[in-house]
Copies of this chain bind each other. A is one copy, B any other.
Amino acid sequence: MGSVKIKTPVIVLNVKAYRESAGERGVTLAKTCEEVTRETGVTTAICPQQVDLALVAKKVKIPVLTQHAEPYAAGSYTGHVVLESVKAAGANGTLLNHSEHPMKIVDIDAVIRKAKELELMTIACTNNTDVSTSIAALHPTSIAIEPPALIGSGIPVSKADPDIVRNSVEAVKMIHDDILVLCGAGISTGSDIKAALELGVEGVLLASGVVKAKDPKAALLDLASGVP
């Protein structure tokens, strides 16, 4: 992934602000991802809760990304996360423009530029093929297509709308073929991930399917089993 090269396919876990992923439970989730990678060889990455970032980054060796960052340089800002502090926390990059944290286009551009300077990776979320194409022009490390209607639905985007995935992959790669394309929304099983990879993506972005699973490790192992 950009300067931080990672082996694909990759399973990226966004733990959101769930009760099940806060504090020690967040550290445990990150360690579970790390175990699954060790046991299966499938790359995993984690986006801890904002307040847990530095703590989690100290505890695991898998890539750790913040869930959102502002485009500002380090400075006199209160309650905002800047990329230099993400790096100082030992993390490797940031999610951008998640549908639960939509961003201004000028800020997406500025965060991607700043991340390149700092050798951090960026995973920008998009809601449709046009927005995927649009953000591809800004050259993030990765684009994760996540149709908002499917988030948390349990209906995998790879089944509900394979065209949006296929078209996004094609459109993004035509602009910059080194952008990794992921898909998200509704992915929860190994067969979902298998179907997604067949549509051309190089990984998935997940949240509730793992965080709220009774047994997150079993859920992750099932997901990893879908990777050929």
Nearest-Cβ distance from residue A34 to partner chain B, whole angstroms: 18
In the complex, A133 has a CB within 8 A of chain B: yes
Q: Mark A109-143, 1 if CB is under 8 A from B, else 0.
A: 10000000000000000011011011111110000
Chain multiplicity (copies) = 4
In the complex, A160 has a CB within 8 A of chain B: no
Nearest-Cβ distance from residue A181 to partner chain B, whole angstroms: 15
The answer for the CA separation of A5 and B83 in the assembled complex, in Å, is 35
- Residues 62-116 (chain A) with a chain B CB within 8 angstroms: 66-68, 72, 74-82, 84-86, 88-91, 95, 97-109
Q: Name which of A17-25, A38-46, A192-200 contacts chain B.
A: A17-25
Contact A66 B49, CB 8 Å, known A55-B54, A104-B102, A131-B105: no
**Which residues in B have their C-beta under 8 angstroms from that of A216?**
none
Partner of A22, one of B16, B26, B84: B84
Nearest-Cβ distance from residue A135 to partner chain B, whole angstroms: 7
**Which residues in B have their C-beta under 8 angstroms from that of A74?**
17-19, 22
Interface size class of A (residues with CB under 8 A): 35 or more
Q: Is the CB of B25 within 8 A of A88?
A: yes
Partner of A78, one of B19, B76, B98, B131: B98
Q: Is the CB of B131 within 8 A of A80?
A: no
Q: Is the CB of A23 within 8 A of B137?
A: no
**Which residues in B have their C-beta under 8 angstroms from that of A16?**
75-78
Nearest-Cβ distance from residue A90 to partner chain B, whole angstroms: 7
In the complex, A187 has a CB within 8 A of chain B: no
In the complex, A189 has a CB within 8 A of chain B: no
The answer for the CA separation of A95 and B77 in the assembled complex, in Å, is 13
In the complex, A2 has a CB within 8 A of chain B: no
Q: What are 14 A-B interface contacts by the 8 Å CB criterion? A: A17-B72, A17-B74, A17-B80, A23-B54, A24-B88, A50-B81, A51-B51, A76-B152, A76-B207, A79-B95, A97-B106, A105-B131, A109-B127, A130-B138
- A interface residues (Cβ-Cβ under 8 A, vs B): 14, 16-19, 22-26, 47, 49-55, 58, 66-68, 72, 74-82, 84-86, 88-91, 95, 97-109, 127-128, 130-131, 133-139, 151-152, 207-208
